[in-house]
Amino acid sequence: MSLDKPYTDIPGTTIFDADKSREGYHLNQFCMSLMKAENRARFKANERAYLDEWPMSEEQKQAVMARDLNRCIALGGNIYFLAKIGATDGKSFQQMAGSMTGMTEDQYRDMMVKGGRSIEGNRKTGEKK
Amino acid sequence: MAKIVGTITTSHVPAIGGAIAKGLQSDPYWKPFFDGFPPVRDWLAKVKPDVVVLVYNDHGLNFFLDKMPTFAIGAAAEYRNADEGWGIPTVAPFRGDPELSWHIIESLVAEDFDLVTCQEMVVDHAFTLPMALCWPDQKWPVRTVPVVVNTVQAPLPSAKRCYKLGQALGRAIASWPKDERVVVMGTGGLSHQLDGERAGFINKDFDLKFMDSMVNDPAWATKYSTVELVELSGTQGVELLNWVVARGTLPEKVSKRQANYHIPISNTASGLMVLEPA
């Protein structure tokens, strides 16, 4: 039985909790393997074969290959660890974060330089903008 | 007896390491951030710490999801950095102080804080980058004690618990019989969110209130649950818990020696403060 989750109503936000940590354990472990240069090289040479070495769900593997980070997070990925995929691809943390927002890279960078995403309309699901 | 001469609290974004490696300290994008540090280095030259106790959250280099302690402390003679996959250079090893570490452990456990003790530990960017910002030549003139707080996998320790840990850590350091000068550092935050459609979230009002509370109302953050802190400061903004621990080591009354706040570095609102006991 899981505890109440009063935190599912922050829009566009996933709290990495026990359920997510269990679901994403091997996905996150795969990500951390990319801290080693030799593993980054093997992953780049054949992504599918490298992913097949990990007991991940097919959905998780597809999400990784599509670089769909929102999907990865929904399937238990944690951004601190998923960031290793971006680092392997030569992407900055800002490019990775931006890719989850539906904005272009330039739009996202511009938003950050102008002070970031406001809390107005982004605090509770259903709040009035 | 040992004396806590002050705290340094700062952000620890990996991109800082990239900027240091590329020498971008005067680049218009980075300058407002790096310009906060010369006064910190002047202050360090004045207070001459022997030891840094550094409170941070690890991002998988030492603690992965296989073992995720709520609180942990290093008790090693040396702490090494390692490749985190960012493509930034690793830094020289840090000297530890096992005697002091064990003294702190004895003292904290006696106060009912049951930390995981680590006689081997690697330290990630949340430890190395703030040190490199304080000592750019990376010739570390201090011994170190790493203290790690879980800000990664919920449930996280509450701000209230973190503040109490800081207070107990302060008492532990103050009871160290050697006549040494200690700086406590807390790294992470301030507001940022790296994931989901809300990525890019920044809350300047909250950050500035929090920084003001570090001086004038140290228990202010403890009124919030960790979920409320996520709501207000972002999924990774909650790293401010490390600041709360560091602040707890100081007495109620403090003087502010330096503060800097800048949006953005990468996805993050960067904060920096130096506080001294008043």
What tens digit of pLDDT does each residue of A54-65 get? 999 999 999 999
- Report the C-alpha gap between B169 and B113 in whole angstroms: 10
Q: What is the domain extent for residue B68?
A: 3-277
The alpha helices in B195-252, defined as continuous H runs, are: 204-216, 226-233, 241-248
- Binary contact (B264, A116; C-beta < 8 A): yes
Q: B157 near B89, Cβ under 8 Å? A: no
- Reported as a single tens digit per residue, the pLDDT across B114-162 is 999 999 999 999 999 999 999 999 999 999 999 999 999 999 999 999 9
Residue A124 has pLDDT above 50, yes or no: yes
The alpha helices in chain A, defined as continuous H runs, are: 18-23, 25-33, 37-45, 47-51, 58-65, 69-74, 79-88, 93-99, 105-113
B125 an active-site residue?
A: yes
- Report the C-alpha gap between B165 and B69 in whole angstroms: 14
- A115 vs B59, B155, B202: nearest CB: B202
Strand partners, B3: B181
The CATH class that applies to domain A18-89 reads mainly alpha
Strand partners, B182: B4, B51
Look at residue B216 in the predicted model and tell me its pLDDT.
Answer: 98
User: Quick one: pLDDT band at residue A72, thresholds 50, 70, 90?
Assistant: very high
Residue A29 has pLDDT above 70, yes or no: yes
Tell me the torsion sign for CA atoms B170, B176, B180, B185: negative
Residue A3 has pLDDT above 80, yes or no: no
Residues 6+ apart with CB under 8 A from A55: A26
* Domains of chain B: total: 1
The CATH number of whichever domain residue B222 belongs to comes to 3.40.830.10
- B59 vs A80, A101, A119: nearest CB: A80
Nearest to B266 by CA among B188, B196, B194, B205: B194
Look at residue A127 in the predicted model and tell me its pLDDT.
Answer: 65
Residues 6+ apart with CB under 8 A from B226: B154, B155, B156, B157, B158, B159, B238, B241
- Report the C-alpha gap between B251 and B254 in whole angstroms: 7
CA distance B194 to chain A (A): 5
User: Quick one: pLDDT band at residue A129, thresholds 50, 70, 90?
Assistant: very low
- Reported as a single tens digit per residue, the pLDDT across B155-188 is 999 999 999 999 999 999 999 999 999 999 999 9
Question: Mean pLDDT score of chain B, rounded to an integer?
Answer: 97
- Report the C-alpha gap between B45 and B257 in whole angstroms: 13
User: Quick one: pLDDT band at residue B17, thresholds 50, 70, 90?
Assistant: very high
ipTM of the prediction: 0.91
